[in-house]
Amino acid sequence: MRLPLTNEDSEPLACYDTSMFDADDKTLLKFIATTVENLRERMDTISGRVDMISEQMATKVDLANLRDELRAEMATKEELAGLESRLRADMATKHDVSRLETTMHGEFEQVHIRFDSVERALGTRMGQVEIDISRLRSVLYLLVKDKPDMLRLLGQPTPGESRPQG
């Protein structure tokens, strides 16, 4: 709590004998009072900061609780060793991977050979179909050569007629 040394008119309070003070003493007293008040305000500010910092700091109890929580969540060396042995049991060896790679390579090769066989068979068959279509066209042209209107059914222009540009 602030104890005023002067009244509102900056006069010393009545508890002091005013005859004891001269003009320089009043100025000095004002300076001291102002300085004390400024120091008090700074102390209040520092106290507020200390309170804020202390709210943010952890207590020993908080740290002990955190340590207990971490211990509860952490695995022991024995648990890690057990997990490692289970993982090792489930993992494939280099030999297993090599064997699988060889098997897969063989199966891919068989599929490739089958695709090549299908491609050759389709190529041969498509060639035969093209030959048959060409023969059919030749026969058809021979059949309709005297009937030019029949060529229109095939989408071909009659001789001497031009096809429309589209």
The confidence band for 36, taking pLDDT boundaries of 50, 70 and 90, is very high
pLDDT in tens, 72-95: 888 888 888 888 888 888 888 888
| DSSP code, position 57 | S
In a domain, 47, yes or no: yes
In a domain, 87, yes or no: no
- Inter-CA distances, 150 with 140, 156, 157, 163, Å: 10, 9, 10, 15
Distance, CA of 113 to chain centre: 44
- Domain end residue (candidates: 9, 38, 58): 58
Domain that holds residue 40: 18-58
In a domain, 43, yes or no: yes
pLDDT in tens, 63-73: 889 888 888 88
Q: State the amino acid at position 53 in one-letter form.
A: I
Mean pLDDT of 46-54: 81
In a domain, 113, yes or no: yes
The model's pTM is 0.33
In a domain, 66, yes or no: no
- Domain end residue (candidates: 37, 58, 79): 58
> Number of structural domains, the chain?
2
Task: Give the C-alpha separation, 69 to 27, whole Å.
Answer: 63
- Domain end residue (candidates: 58, 89, 107): 58
Task: Identify the pLDDT of residue 59.
Answer: 82
Q: Tell me which of 112 and 8 has the higher pLDDT.
A: 112
Q: Which two tokens stand for residue 135?
A: 């023969």
Question: Closest Cα partner for 2 from 43, 36, 50, 30?
Answer: 36
Task: Identify the pLDDT of residue 20.
Answer: 60
In a domain, 50, yes or no: yes
In a domain, 83, yes or no: no
In a domain, 136, yes or no: yes
